Amino acid sequence: MNKLLTSLALSLAFTAPAWAAVQTVTLAVPGMTCGVCPITVHKALTAVPGVEKVSVNEARKDAVVTFDDTKTNVKALIKATTDAGYPSVVSQ
């Protein structure tokens, strides 16, 4: 009986769904210098799987990104902007 319960507990532990946590990060994107830059940054970030919302502000030179942390992470977001020609860092 103990083996059955242990087996059941282990199977549940490995099949239980991972609960998504929505995260928001602000990325500083200092290379945005023209009106087209925010559009390019926005497109790059929204193309990352798991990104739910992007708001890019040219005047502040930043992007606020809301994402599902089970599908992506900050490193992937930074890579997306960098690959688009706009290196970014987490804003403090």
Cβ pair 30, 90 in contact under 8 A: no
In the predicted structure, residue 48 carries a pLDDT above the cut 70: yes
Q: Which two tokens stand for residue 1?
A: 């009986």
**CB neighbour burial string for 24-52, b if at least 16 within 10 angstroms, e if fewer:** ebbbbbeebeeeebbebbbebbeebebbe
Mean pLDDT value across residues 33-57: 96
Alpha-carbon distance 80 to 29, whole Å?
12
Q: Which residue has the tokens 């239980």?
A: 16
Could you tell me the domains of the chain?
Answer: 18-90 (3.30.70.100)
**C-alpha torsion sign, points 44, 30, 74, 26:** negative
Average pLDDT of the chain is: 86
In the predicted structure, residue 20 carries a pLDDT above the cut 80: no
DSSP string, 22-45: EEEEEEE-TT--SSSHHHHHHHHH
Kindly report the pTM of this predicted structure. 0.78
In the predicted structure, residue 15 carries a pLDDT above the cut 80: no
Mean pLDDT value across residues 16-37: 86
